[in-house]
A = this chain, B = another copy of it.
């Protein structure tokens, strides 16, 4: 049995190029006592992956050169010498970008394809959804009737943020790239409005729909969009810094030049990392699963084809904004 994997071959300067990756195929070794062999079904494609490729201090260690690229995945148990896991079961685990992985199962979370489609466990019920849940509720602290603005509104995290804010009784305005995404966000996800930042006049359009100002801004993109929203925040607003996809491939990152709006408005800008809430993942996932089953939360995802070798171009699609909902790479249907 052969395992194909994608190795980090070179650190990118700016946008990752094909030189960053090496594809390697090798035999899958035998598993030892206590180990499990899993076959990757779906790989989670995340903006955070770009950060893991850098050799800099962050909330998690960088991927080492020569190592399998880090990735969360849904995998199927295909061999087991561990009494806790049985052939045919599905688990959520960080296999990395490879077809097979061997593990003692310590980070495994069993998932059931009969309840939700497998990609949902990487999206709304996975790290993306948990990031949205804790980032919005704990850090954003939206109150009923407040206006919540979300960038990357059609993305894996943003789409969940906006839907949870609606469940909590807020007015929800998305920002997304392109009219199709905006229509999707309003018609399929139930946001009150969504502004296409690519159409120009972002500030004017946003101001018009946020007639009472912005109380919570959940930022996934950074750059000019963050700067624009900063000019529209209310007193005591909360800005959740979840990501900055506009900056990850920038060689000269830009800071929010309107940050003094925080002073004028006694507002707060706070960064979040979902891992800090690990003890409460179960509780949050259970609540979100309930919302999905009640039809209040659309667990949207987008499946990319091409198998493990398609990983490099799939990641670039994410940075080009070519997804609505969680993007996953199908490794084995």
Min CB distance A170 to B, Å, is 22
> Among the listed stretches A34-42, A271-279, A308-316, which one makes contact with chain B, having 4 or more residues with CB under 8 Å of it?
A271-279
Q: Which of A243, A259, A270, A276 has the most CB of B within 10 A?
A: A259
User: How many copies of this chain?
Assistant: 2
Report whether B276 and A260 are in contact in the complex, using a CB–CB cutoff of 8 Å. no
What bracket does the count of chain A residues touching chain B fall in? 20 to 34
Interface pair A268/B269, CB less than 8 Å apart = yes
Chain B residues positioned under 8 Å from A264 (CB to CB): 57-59, 271, 273
Cα(A187)–Cα(B268), bound, Å: 34
In the assembly, what is the distance between CA of A119 and CA of B257, in Å? Answer: 35
Q: A227-B255, A254-B255, A255-B254 are in contact. Are A265 and B260 (CB under 8 A)?
A: no
Residues 212-241 of chain A, each 1 if its beta carbon lies under 8 Å from chain B, else 0: 000000000010000100000000000001
Residue of B nearest to A252 (CB): B257
Chain B residues within 8 Å of A227, by CB: 255
A255-B259 contact in complex given A267-B270, A268-B269, A273-B266, C-beta closer than 8 Å: yes
Cβ-defined contact, B269 with A273, below 8 A: no
**Complex: A268 Cα to B255 Cα, angstroms:** 15
Does A256 have its Cβ within 8 Å of any Cβ on chain B? yes
Cβ contact within 8 Å between B271 and A262: yes
A247 in contact (CB, < 8 A): yes
CB <8 Å contact, B243 and A263: yes
Question: What B residues does A94 contact at CB under 8 A?
Answer: none
| Interface of A (DSSP majority class) | loop
Residue A253 at the chain B interface, CB threshold 8 Å: yes
Contacts of A266 in B (CB 8 A): 59, 270-273, 276
Q: Contacts of A267 on B, CB cut-off 8 Å?
A: 270-271
A265–B264 Cα gap in the complex (Å)?
A: 24
Query: Is A258's beta carbon under 8 Å from chain B?
Result: yes
Chain B residues with CB below 8 A from A59, complex form: 263-266
How far apart are the CA atoms of A58 and B231 in the complex, in Å?
A: 11
Residues from chain B with Cβ under 8 Å of A261 in the complex: 271
A264–chain B nearest beta-carbon distance, Å: 5
Q: Does A209 contact B (CB under 8 A)?
A: no
Which B residues are CB-close (under 8 A) to A258?
Answer: 253, 255
Residue among A241, A252, A256 with max Cβ neighbours from chain B (10 Å): A241
Alpha-carbon distance between A244 and B222 when the two chains are bound, in angstroms:
21
Q: What B residues does A241 contact at CB under 8 A? A: 259-260, 262-263
Which B residues are in CB contact (< 8 Å) with A260?
222, 241, 244, 247, 253, 271
8 additional contacts, CB 8 Å, given A227-B255, A244-B263?
A: A59-B263, A59-B264, A243-B263, A253-B257, A255-B256, A256-B256, A259-B259, A269-B269
Chain A interface residues toward B at CB < 8 A = 57-59, 222, 227, 241-244, 247, 252-273, 276
